[in-house]
Homo-oligomer: A and B are copies of this chain.
Amino acid sequence: MYQIIELSTTRRTELIDITDQVRNIIQKSKIRNGSVIIYVPHTTAAITINENYDQSVADDITNVLNRLFPHNYRYQHSEGNADAHIKAALIGSTRTIFIEDNEILFGTWQGIFFCEFDGPRKRKVFVKIIPDSSC
């Protein structure tokens, strides 16, 4: 069993805060304690946990990645999105975090971001909850 978050991204590169959607899935599950795995089934997108209080953090991450891995460069992949595949490989497509008392176990500033590197597109995020074992 897994749940699906559906997104429509609006720019080529952007970080989209999906914390509320993940929180909703956890609350509906009624599971009090466990783990939640967030997984992106795309090869030009990724998941990161980072500060979602000040938007400038997300902007700095995308700006620095765009500077290190420019869109136009002598890549071999001919579809014009090689930079997006590289960014996705570096950030990574899965993260596993914890649920405690039916809430995401977060530090003060943490949020969950979908990282779009080749938008705008319709995208999906898959979410699976593993309850703590009681057997």
Which residues of A are interface residues toward B (Cβ below 8 A)? 1-2, 33, 35, 37, 39, 41-43, 48-51, 54, 56-57, 59-61, 63-64, 68-69, 75-79, 82, 85-86, 88-98, 100, 105-107, 109-110, 124, 126, 128, 130-135
Question: Separation in Å of the A23 CB from the closest CB of chain B?
Answer: 16
CB-based contact A76/B89 at 8 Å: no
How far does the alpha carbon of A68 sit from the alpha carbon of B86 in the complex, in Å?
A: 12
CB-based contact B35/A37 at 8 Å: yes
CB-based contact B76/A59 at 8 Å: yes
How far does the alpha carbon of A39 sit from the alpha carbon of B104 in the complex, in Å?
A: 12
Residues of chain B lying within 8 A (CB to CB) of residue A39: 96-98, 105
Task: Provide a sorted-by-A list of 5 A–B residue pairs whose CB atoms are within 8 angstroms.
Answer: A39-B98, A41-B106, A41-B107, A64-B86, A92-B92
